[in-house]
Structure 1
């Protein structure tokens, strides 16, 4: 993909687009929620469907001229059903957060109760943070992971649910490196007559590939993002049993959004089709293997991992035991200067602020898409440790940057990308 036509009409935007393409090619994307889609997904998302309004659902649109929009959405749904096995799927949400909003609107009234994981313990804004719509519209209490082990305290969750009597319990997390026992959380929800919403935004691809237990058929509702480990068009998805289908669809449109972004739905359809290829299972397995290799090497260097390891695509490092005077933000900024892009993150029992926390979160979906294996991820772990040891040493940062250049040259992302 080139931006020659854009350049003819808007030099500044073309420069920014080419700069971003070069940045992605020349750096290591390790933000756990990011990935790299194929050229085919990008081409679908830039199609003429960006011009088309298609309010409603296939066969029941409020505008004419939707025959091809219907075909695209129907394919996206069919492929999603094959990937995850849900009875009903809505592929229209613009994001994972709007997918969550759709579920809340479908089953809750303002002031109803949500029980979800605390943000500093690995939850997500849309699960009920006070700054988010969910925390402003609903009454929210939050459970925590065990501070000693880093694992979800399922017994504590059950006790909290019995005391709080929520209408919805949310599982699925933004910074939790362990497999989730969805059936156990469903038992807790059943015990208090609550709905169970499993937000698998981070692990949609791992669930589709069978390398993480699926909440589909267990939880009442499953939501997710479609651009993280699944590598499809950017957006959200809702899955549920047929009994909730009408309420969910009405909550998405017209309840929380107007016309779907049909070009994004096309990107979802293409990405879902790619995930149905047997090679995608290998990709998902490698993503998890790479995360384990990354985490193991970081531990060999003496860094502490929340929960002492990982079962999925990410590792969460608590810098306090080994580097008590170093913040996650310092490490994030130094690593970005060196070409390794990850994020500072809160850790259980956080003693600093969310803006300058005590941990870093690193994921392997993007590296795995580039072709990294366990040995390459161990190399990356060495680079991360070098910067953690000396985040203000420009000589170290320059050396790490040089090594990153070698890795990005070896594992090329987009062949046509210019270099910075």
Structure 2
């Protein structure tokens, strides 16, 4: 609602101006926290692999009057009135998703990739149906049948892992499939630094008569830019988040390719119709119109040349980071990377993941702890670090600057005095010096946006 004295019939821009003015005057505590977060993101060196930075136009699309719209269902078939503009926005987002990923069908309503995964599994599997997926400790995801997830509680789950060299062995995966005879095979990972051969996964699924679900949440930007093979025409269904690498809002997508008209498990329904029903009314109620508007904007950016150039820099930076860390003596899993992700076993340095993460954060560097293959430590501690170069590339940093980042990281990690698995000491003077160095580097390379 507009404040007293404000003009009626405002534009989106005027509403944003009015809202920010009211927020800072009437809720200065919240306004100050939001400003503090903006400053924090500007001055900290983020190498979190599961994150990217949304462009201002994406943030703007996400904070509009579309939040006032309630409309369950799909364009042209809503269960509420007043969706005339939302219908067009959702159609626009669907068309852009299809264009960016070369898909025949796209559902833009999932609130996250986790929601998308659960909807697809719910559509394709009865309760107790069998899944074959990458083990969480080998780089899989919670929604791929982990014990802590509803996917691990409602379905019968078998796992495949990685080999001692940290890579997938597709012949071994086939052996697991022949042994366990899954109904759904999941291809995808949250911590795997190499290309995934989706055609080999489809061959495995076909051999045992299973559906193939490809989760590309972490590599969606690379797939969109043609820098990683696409699963869309290999998998029966492909899912992704829209924020990890696409620079979009929190949300997910379901994509179908050439199998969109395949007959669903009920023997009657086409696959695309099954996906529609699985999202609504199956697993979600009202969609988030503002998030869908922001997805539409992010997908428009992802179709441009500047985004493709950024994704190329993401890959170049990751290779440079892996090489630099190897040269500094770190155990880099698989010896390098094909994507944006670099996994490091820090146990050889006498550290745990949580100690390394916290010490780096003290110094203004954000990297998350991660379990690594064969890791006996619990997930909250972990024996590894997962680095990512999405945001470094968005800052315009190239391989030269990334090598500087690796040296800064090494400066911190090599100075930690570890106590036990969760406690450590770090010299205060060194911490302050590294903070200054990080702030200077971030100032030299402020966040950039492919806001074409």
Per the normalisation by structure 1, the TM-score is: 0.96
Mapped pair 1:267 → 2:294 = yes
For residue 277 of structure 1, what is the aligned residue in structure 2?
304
Structure 2 distance, partners of 1:170, 1:72, is: 31
Q: What is the distance in 1 between the residues matched to 2:124 and 2:358?
A: 42
Q: 1:56 aligns with which of 66, 73, 77?
A: 73
Q: Check if 1:338 corresponds to 2:363.
A: yes
Question: Does residue 31 of structure 2 align to residue 14 of structure 1?
Answer: yes
Q: Tell me the equivalent position of 2:53.
A: 36
Hey, what does 1:47 align to over in structure 2?
Answer: 64
From 109, 113, 121, the equivalent of 2:138 is: 121
1:358 corresponds in structure 2 to 383
For the pair shown, the structure with the greater C-alpha radius of gyration is 2
Q: Does 1:69 align with 2:86?
A: yes
* More off after superposition, 160-169 vs 395-404: 395-404
Q: Give ranges in structure 2 of 5+ residues lacking alignment.
A: 1-15, 262-270, 417-425
Structure-1 separation of matches of 2:429 and 2:157 = 48
Cα offset for 1:9?
2.6
For the residues of structure 2 that align with 1:231 and 1:307, how far apart are their CA atoms? 27
- Contact preservation (8 Å) 2:367, 2:387: yes
Alignment check: 8 A CA contact 2:194 2:337 kept: yes
* Contact 1:178-1:310 at 8 Å conserved across structures: yes
How many angstroms apart in 2 are the aligned matches of 1:170 and 1:395? 48
What's 1:370 paired with? 395
Q: Give the number of equivalent residue pairs.
A: 412
Deviations 1:271-290 (A, max 9, x none): 10011111211111110000
Please give the residue correspondences for 1:389-408 in structure 2 after superposition, counting only pairs within 5 Å.
389-391=414-416, 392-408=426-442
Deviations 1:155-201 (A, max 9, x none): 21111110011011111110000000111111011101011100000
1:418 alignment partner in structure 2? none
Distance of 2:430 and 2:209 partners within structure 1: 56
The correspondence for 1:328, drawn from 326, 335, 353, is 353
Q: Distance in 1 between matches of 2:211 and 2:138?
A: 22
Please give the residue correspondences for 1:91-130 in structure 2 after superposition, counting only pairs within 5 Å.
91-130=108-147
The equivalences for 1:197-216 within 5 A come to: 197-216=213-232
Structure 1 unaligned regions, length at least 5: 416-420
1:171 alignment partner, one of 171, 183, 187: 187
Match in the other structure for 1:293: 320
Instruction: Determine if the alignment matches structure 1 residue 384 to structure 2 residue 409.
Output: yes
Query: How far apart are 1:397 and its partner, in Å?
Result: 2.1
RMSD of aligned Cα (Å): 1.3
User: What is the alpha-carbon distance in structure 2 between the residues aligned to residue 346 and residue 308 of structure 1?
Assistant: 17
Give secondary structure in 2 for the equivalent of 1:237. Answer: strand
Measure how far apart 1:414 and its partner are. Answer: 7.6
**CA distance 1:112–1:221, shift in 2 (3 Å):** same
Higher relative contact order (CA 8 A, sep 6+): 1
For 1:155, the equivalent position in structure 2 comes to: 171
How far apart in 2 are the matches of 1:35 and 1:398? 26
Distance 1:92 1:102 in 2: 11
Q: Does 1:224 align with 2:240?
A: yes
Please name the residue that 2:444 is paired with: 410
Task: Indicate conservation of the 8 Å contact 2:66/2:86, yes or no.
Answer: yes
Q: Shift of the alpha carbon at 1:11? A: 2.3
CA contact (8 A) 1:81 1:87 kept: yes
Alignment of structure 1 residues 138-153 onto 2, 5 Å: 138-147=155-164, 149-153=165-169
1:186 counterpart (174, 198, 202) = 202
- The Cα offsets for residues 316-340 of structure 1, whole Å up to 9 and x where unpaired, read as 001123x1x2111111001111111
2:395–2:448 CA contact under 8 A, matched in 1:
no
TM-score w.r.t. structure 2 length?
Answer: 0.89
Q: Distance in 1 between matches of 2:21 and 2:371?
A: 42
Could you say what secondary structure the match of 1:170 adopts?
strand
Cα pair 2:396 2:448 within 8 Å, conserved: no
Q: Deviations over 1:132-165 (max 9, x none)?
A: 1101111111110002x11012121111110011
